[in-house]
């Protein structure tokens, strides 16, 4: 929600476009602008984003369409119909830098050579060139996703994990001790874990988390305040239900008994153990829900692949 409201994805994508496509061209209003800005404002790209701002997500095909339209529009051949004309159009275009021109011409020449070498021509040379540009764009988007995670997502997740762990006193060491000394609670947690791993609805939700695109996130920037409040309220209810279920098996929260135990171990050992326990929980949260669900799913699958183990009393 923080990334969506602050339009962090759009900001990073916009910076990339203006940095890579930094050649100045004259737009339809006879004003000098950067090529990257013109790509942002292209009709194939704008979608729901305001004019002059980058959207949070651009599909590879739409990006290539916008790029070719702008690049060929400032060349000798404005509407190339063959790969040779397209190569000449890129070679004479004034809308891209020399470095990009060399890279794109290499892709175009590779596409032409590959097409000429085919005995059964099931696809065109221009389509091959489009695919190479799409692959180039997607590889850059992967790098931008890494930048988003390093600069923003990890920091926000870390801050949220610290607040949640301190508020709930989610101490991995204390929880482990409790489960070790309470077989009934341990069995209940294990049963719930296996049930969760086999739940198709949760699997679908985790898959949705993995595949959620920035386009979907960008659409949420236009929701009303009431919709946002309803969304937060629904999430809070879900969290409260989850906490209620955990309270039945796992001790969470700060208690007087915990502070009374300080007299036995001393503040130093108590503080050290508490810091380590909370740190382990924070690190676990940083790994993300999809990661832990995959681990849980694999464990439940391994358990279901053989005979049910005999529990000795």
What tokens were used for 287? 């790994």
Nearest CA to 162 among 23, 21, 28, 281? 281
pLDDT at 1: 76
Sign of CA dihedral 213, 214, 217, 218: negative
pLDDT digits (tens, 9 = 90+) for 241-269: 666 656 556 767 787 777 777 777 678 88
Rounded CA-CA distance 77/89 in Å is 5
Provide mean pLDDT across the span 230-238.
67
Given a cut of 60, whether residue 213 has pLDDT beyond it is no
Nearest to 174 by CA among 105, 109, 252, 98: 252
Name the nearest CA neighbour of 90 among 114, 64, 62, 117. 64
- Segment among 68-72, 103-107, 154-158, 288-292 with least mean pLDDT: 288-292
For helices 172-181 and 267-286, what crossing angle results, to 10°? 100
pLDDT beyond 50 at 220: no
Quote the mean pLDDT of the chain: 80
How far is it, in rounded angstroms, from Cα 120 to Cα 206?
A: 42
- Report the pLDDT value the prediction gives residue 222, as an integer from 0 to 100: 46
- Max distance between CA atoms of the chain, in angstroms, equals 85
pLDDT tens for residues 27-61? Answer: 878 889 999 999 988 888 776 566 777 888 888 99
pLDDT surpasses 50 at 202: yes
The reported pLDDT for the residue numbered 267 is 81
pLDDT score of 214 = 43
Query: Burial level of 61, CB count in 10 A (0-12/13-18/19+)?
Result: middle
**pLDDT value at position 219?**
47
* pLDDT at site 313: 56
More confident residue, 187 or 116: 116
Residue 253 pLDDT: 79
Task: Determine the pLDDT at residue 89.
Answer: 93
Q: At 157, is the secondary structure helix, strand, or coil?
A: helix
Residue of 10, 33, 11 whose CA lies nearest to 21? 33
Q: Which residue has the higher pLDDT, 208 or 12?
A: 12
- Give the pLDDT confidence score for residue 221 in this predicted structure: 44
pLDDT of residue 301: 67
pLDDT attached to residue 134: 94
pLDDT band at 4 (very low <50, low <70, confident <90, very high): confident
- Cβ(35)–Cβ(96) below 8 Å: yes
Q: What is the rounded CA–CA span in Å between residue 233 and residue 254? A: 25
What is the arithmetic mean of pLDDT over 281-296? 81
pLDDT for residue 57: 84
Do the beta carbons of residue 95 and residue 25 sit within 8 Å?
A: yes
Instruction: Confirm if 63 and 47 have CB atoms less than 8 A apart.
Output: no
């Amino acid at each position: 929600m923080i990334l969506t409201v602050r339009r962090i994805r759009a900001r990073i994508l916009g910076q990339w476009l203006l940095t890579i496509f930094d050649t100045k061209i004259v737009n339809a209003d006879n004003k000098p602008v950067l090529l990257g800005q013109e790509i942002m404002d292209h009709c194939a790209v704008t979608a729901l984003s305001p004019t002059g701002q980058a959207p949070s997500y651009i599909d590879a095909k739409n990006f290539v369409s916008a790029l070719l339209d702008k690049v060929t529009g400032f060349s000798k051949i404005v509407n190339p119909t063959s790969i040779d004309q397209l190569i000449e159009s890129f070679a004479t275009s004034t809308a891209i830098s020399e470095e990009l021109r060399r890279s794109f011409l290499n892709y175009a020449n590779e596409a032409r050579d590959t097409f000429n070498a085919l005995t059964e021509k099931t696809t065109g040379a221009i389509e091959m060139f489009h695919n190479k540009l799409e692959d180039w764009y997607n590889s850059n988007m992967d790098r931008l996703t890494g930048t988003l995670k390093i600069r923003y997502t990890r920091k926000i997740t870390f801050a949220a994990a610290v607040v949640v762990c301190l508020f709930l006193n989610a101490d991995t060491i204390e929880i482990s001790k409790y489960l070790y000394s309470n077989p009934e609670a341990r069995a209940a947690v294990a049963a719930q874990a296996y049930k969760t791993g086999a739940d198709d609805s949760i699997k679908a939700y985790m898959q949705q988390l993995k595949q959620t695109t920035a386009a979907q996130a960008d659409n949420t920037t236009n929701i009303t305040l009431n919709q946002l409040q309803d969304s937060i309220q629904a999430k809070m209810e879900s969290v409260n239900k989850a906490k209620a279920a955990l309270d039945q098996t796992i001790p969470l929260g700060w208690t007087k008994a915990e502070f009374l135990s300080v007299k036995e171990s001393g503040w130093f050992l108590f503080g050290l153990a508490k810091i380590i326990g909370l740190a382990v929980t924070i690190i676990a949260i940083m790994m993300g829900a999809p990661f832990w669900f995959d681990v849980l799913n694999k464990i439940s699958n391994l358990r279901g692949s053989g005979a049910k183990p005999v529990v000795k009393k």
